[in-house]
């Protein structure tokens, strides 16, 4: 099916006979594969008698050759349950870190707190980087916030100049989500562990009925199609730079940079942990990346992977 898709990716008409000859199958078999493409990948295919078949629009696929110079070894998949899940399977199988998993599509993409991450085929970036961490918990302090800075830097380099950070794991343009981060640990964080850094970036997505919150994409913000291969290369390079700095100097080295780009600084918020809710005003973050809130006139500090931050009176 992927071979057929590569023949069609130019967005031009191809006859059923030519496609069958290229694939070594009958025209009826071509027709069945085209139907499968439409159903499984949700790719509209135009069919015109006498001209053949074409995709509704040209398609750029993630290309191993283009990514050969990436800072990290990259494995590319047509479809996965999620890149984080595949990365964790790689760790369990003994694959040496660091390595990256990317996919054209996810069937069970995950955000924080078990939320679904909508993952249409060949439109966005679904990226997971695996790192080995030796030497204790301090290397994990503020890690997701450092990754957020790296992703923000990448987005701004592609003309998404209004993107900013929301504690702890989201990147927004105004109140619209453009990217998210999900960190997962396996092993002993006090000794030796692996961390999977999952990153989802809305790149060329223009419309969907599946997202249950305000969202945007690089294409919607810039008005032009974005080359995902180049974004992946830039992302790996930028992550490497920020992660090296974090490993050497700790989160405090980038704390001021993060705070200067926090969109909700000074805002009235609700911090939600399960059934519990704390209302307060955002002061900032501490040197470990924890959130500082003013709650009834007193400063309180919060951290943890299952916390959710929302603007007050924000539906």
Q: How far apart are CA 144 and CA 179, in angstroms?
A: 13
Please enumerate, as own/partner, the contacts of 161-167 that have beta carbons within 8 Å and a separation of 24 or more: 162/221, 163/221, 164/261, 164/262, 164/263, 165/258, 165/261, 165/262, 165/263, 166/262, 166/263, 166/264, 166/309, 167/262, 167/264, 167/282, 167/285, 167/291, 167/309
Strand partners, 48: 52
Looking at the domain assignment, is residue 287 inside a domain?
yes
One domain for residues 187 and 211 = yes
Q: Is 111 annotated as a binding residue?
A: yes
One domain for residues 127 and 83 = yes
Which pLDDT does position 136 carry in this prediction?
Answer: 65
Domain at 298, CATH number: 2.30.30.100
One domain for residues 140 and 94 = yes
Looking at the domain assignment, is residue 61 inside a domain?
no
Q: Which of 244, 259, 274 is the last residue of a domain?
A: 259
Looking at the domain assignment, is residue 202 inside a domain?
yes
One domain for residues 209 and 226 = yes
Q: Is 113 annotated as a binding residue?
A: no
User: What 3-state class would DSSP assign to 113?
Assistant: helix
Sequence-separated (6 or more) residues with CB below 8 Å from residue 300 = 278, 280, 292, 293, 294
Compute CA distances 289 → 172, 185, 301, whole Å: 19, 17, 10
One domain for residues 94 and 166 = yes
One domain for residues 167 and 188 = yes
Looking at the domain assignment, is residue 111 inside a domain?
yes
Q: How far apart are CA 163 and CA 203, in angstroms?
A: 13
Catalytic (active-site) positions = 112, 177, 310
Q: How far apart are CA 265 and CA 66, in angstroms?
A: 39
| Residue 24: cis peptide before it, omega within 30 degrees of 0 | no
Q: Is 177 annotated as a binding residue?
A: yes
Domain at 14, CATH number: 1.10.10.10
Q: Is 277 annotated as a binding residue?
A: no
Which pLDDT does position 159 carry in this prediction?
Answer: 95
Looking at the domain assignment, is residue 60 inside a domain?
no
Which pLDDT does position 315 carry in this prediction?
Answer: 38
Structure tokens at 149: 């800075």
One domain for residues 176 and 78 = yes
Sequence-separated (6 or more) residues with CB below 8 Å from residue 156 = 163
Q: How many domains does one find in the chain?
A: 3
Predicted confidence (pLDDT) per residue in 165-174, tens digit? 999 999 999 9
Which pLDDT does position 86 carry in this prediction?
Answer: 97
Looking at the domain assignment, is residue 14 inside a domain?
yes
Predicted confidence (pLDDT) per residue in 53-103, tens digit? 988 878 889 999 999 988 899 999 998 999 999 999 999 999 999 999 999
Q: Is 175 annotated as a binding residue?
A: no
One domain for residues 125 and 44 = no
Domain that holds residue 253: 66-259
Segments of the chain scoring below 50 in pLDDT = 315
């Amino acid at each position: 099916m992927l071979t057929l898709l590569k023949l069609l990716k130019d967005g031009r008409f191809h006859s059923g006979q030519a496609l069958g000859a290229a694939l070594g199958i009958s025209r009826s078999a071509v027709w069945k594969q085209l139907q499968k493409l439409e159903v499984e990948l949700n790719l509209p295919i135009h069919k015109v008698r006498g001209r053949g078949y074409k995709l509704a629009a040209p398609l750029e696929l993630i290309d191993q050759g283009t990514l050969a110079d990436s800072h990290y070894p990259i494995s590319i998949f047509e479809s996965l349950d999620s890149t984080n899940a595949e990365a964790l399977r790689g760790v369990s199988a003994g694959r040496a870190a660091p390595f990256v998993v990317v996919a054209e599509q996810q069937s069970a993409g995950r955000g924080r707190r078990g939320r679904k991450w909508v993952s249409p085929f060949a439109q966005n970036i679904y990226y997971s980087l695996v790192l080995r961490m030796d030497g204790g918990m301090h290397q994990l302090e503020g890690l997701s916030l450092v990754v957020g800075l790296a992703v923000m830097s990448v987005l701004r380099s592609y003309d998404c100049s209004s993107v900013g950070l929301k504690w702890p794991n989201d990147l927004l343009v105004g109140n619209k989500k453009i990217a998210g981060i999900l960190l997962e640990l396996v092993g002993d964080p006090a000794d030796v562990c692996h961390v999977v850094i999952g990153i989802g970036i809305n790149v060329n997505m223009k419309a969907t009925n599946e997202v249950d919150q305000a969202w945007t994409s690089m294409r919607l913000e810039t008005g032009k199609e974005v080359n995902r291969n180049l974004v992946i290369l830039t992302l790996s390079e930028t992550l490497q730079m920020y992660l090296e700095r974090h490993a050497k100097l700790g989160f405090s080295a980038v704390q001021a940079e993060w705070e200067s780009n926090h969109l909700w600084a000074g805002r009235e918020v609700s911090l939600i942990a399960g059934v519990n809710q704390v209302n307060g005003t955002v002061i900032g973050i501490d040197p470990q990346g924890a959130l500082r809130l003013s709650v009834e006139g007193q400063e309180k500090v919060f951290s943890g992977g299952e916390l959710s931050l929302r603007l007050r009176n924000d539906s």
